Amino acid sequence: MNDNTVAKTKKKEVLSWCLYDWAYSSFATIVISAVLPVYYSQIAAGDLPGNAATIYWGYTTVIALIVSVLLAPVMGAVADISGIKKKFLLIFAAIGIFSTSLLYYVTSGDWLLASLLFVFGNIGFSMSEVFYNSILPSVAGPEAIDRVSVKGYALGYLGGGILLALDIGLIQFMPDKALATRISFITVSIWWAVFTIPFILNVREPAVTNRNRLDGNVLTAGFKRLSHTFSELREYRELFLFLAAFWIYNDGIGTIIKMATIYGAEIGISQTALIGALLMTQFVGIPFSFAFGKLARLIGAKNSIMLGLFVYTVISIGSYFMETALHFFILAFLVGTVQGGTQALSRSLYGSMLPKEKTAEFFGFYGMSSKFAGIVGPLVFAVVSQLAGTSRLSIFSLIVFFIAGALILHRVDVEKGVRASLGKSLV
């Protein structure tokens, strides 16, 4: 095989890996964020009193996150020692695809079925992501890993946005809006399945090395690895301090992503307006993610994230007073300006303070721990909604996550953290 053939094969593999982001991001966009929360509030749980639908959706999200958190370390260990990462990705993708397709059968009053199917769909989504991420180093190599990762992220944004636009058209023009919404869940399943095919055909199974093998059963190995990585992280003060800040403020960001549309539905904003605003957020997020990258070169990644957290604080305060669809569109636009940028810069800032020989291990902990920390925000949202009888105080309470996260982030000395990582690497 000559060099040109090898290069073409590698390029095809990289594109096929990125296309899985395009495929499974449809679930994140339509099922997690945009369409299902509104359908859950207005149809599946529409006969429940008061803000019960919002409360139950909050608890459903918490349960889905808890299950994913419990499975993630086990699956991470399997990913390293099994030699069947690709097969496990496809198994969990199939679980997600099948569960999402069954949402078609959720009709009025079926909130419990909707919750159950969402939990299984989210398990498929989250666990396939574990294996998807674990395959990246073998697809890209150290010299291209950042570029390939960003490309996948951007394709995920774009793919989710395109399918959402198509589904908005379907919901807008079909007379039976409920049926159109149920059909949109089928489109997610088809989209996810079809664009997984290039991954199946072109992405190779990564080789297993002896150093990746672990003694004992997978369950024990997974949680031992988490404990070991946590102990190592504590040796890097600035890195650990940043991670603490990230756990807090990213929980607030994740809660807005998961709960915004069902909150909007609760206060009476129409399904069309809610989904349209989320579509706008998808496409606003693409250029503003790149803009945040440029801003980071001017004022630094840390200060750029601080700016993003200030905007999120404004969003939380503004959401308390939200009354109309126009208000929701304005706040959704603001979310789009900071969502991708804060998450991308958080990842790169964390990476800049990592000892280079431990990037895979520490990034695995980064993803796993953020899922664990992400349970608190939706739980607080649901509990406050239940106690207060309204979700306005719940959305307002999220400012605590952004302010507390910003205060801890302010204490992080990035240059000291980078020097510490270099010093450890040289030892």
How would DSSP label each residue in 328-382? HHHHHHHHHHHHHHHHHHHHHHHHHTS-GGGHHHHHHHHHHHHHHHTTHHHHHHH
20, 165: one domain = yes
pLDDT tens sequence across 315-338: 999 999 999 999 999 999 999 899
Model confidence at 106: pLDDT above 60: yes
| Residue 115 confidence (pLDDT) above 70 | yes
**Assigned domain for 210 exists:** no
Closest Cα to residue 151, out of 290, 298, 26?
Answer: 290
Task: Determine the Cα–Cα distance for residues 27 and 95; give it in Å rounded to an integer.
Answer: 12
| Domain identity same for 168 and 225 | no
Question: What's residue 215's pLDDT?
Answer: 56
Domain-embedded: residue 5: no
CATH number at residue 173: 1.20.1250.20
Q: Are both 414 and 360 inside the same structural domain?
A: yes
- pLDDT of residue 193 exceeding 90, the answer is yes
Given 152, 172, 202, the domain boundary residue is: 202
Asked whether residue 416 is domain-assigned, the answer is: yes
The per-residue pLDDT for 48 is 92
Same structural domain for residues 344 and 411? Answer: yes
The length of the chain is 427
**Is 173 in the same domain as 233?**
no
Domain boundary among 170, 202, 234: 202
Domain count, the chain: 2
Interatomic CA distance for residues 403 and 136, integer angstroms? 34
> Does one domain contain both 91 and 190?
yes
Q: How far is CA 187 from CA 42, 123, 272, 315, in A?
A: 20, 19, 18, 31
Q: What is the pLDDT of residue 426?
A: 46
Distance from C-alpha of 165 to C-alpha of 276, rounded to nearest angstrom? 8
Residue 213 in any domain: the answer is no
Identify whether residues 227 and 182 lie together within a single domain.
Answer: no
Instruction: For residue 214, tell me if it sits in a domain.
Output: no
In the predicted model, what is the mean pLDDT of residues 393-421? 91
Half-sphere exposure of 345 (CA within 13 A, CB side): 28
Q: Which residue has the higher pLDDT, 391 or 116?
A: 116
Give the predicted TM-score (pTM) of the model. Answer: 0.80
Tell me, yes or no, whether 37 lies in a domain. Answer: yes
Whether residue 427 has pLDDT greater than 50: no
Domain boundary among 169, 202, 235: 202
Dihedral sign (CA 162, 35, 379, 102): negative
Domain that holds residue 84: 12-202
pLDDT at 20: 95
266 vs 291: CA distance, rounded Å: 33
Examine residue 212 and state whether it is found in any structural domain, yes or no. no
Is residue 257 located within the same domain as residue 307?
A: yes
Confidence check: pLDDT of 5 > 70: no
Answer yes or no: is 223 within a domain: yes
As a whole number of Å, the end-to-end CA separation of the chain is 41
Mean pLDDT over 388-407 rounds to: 91
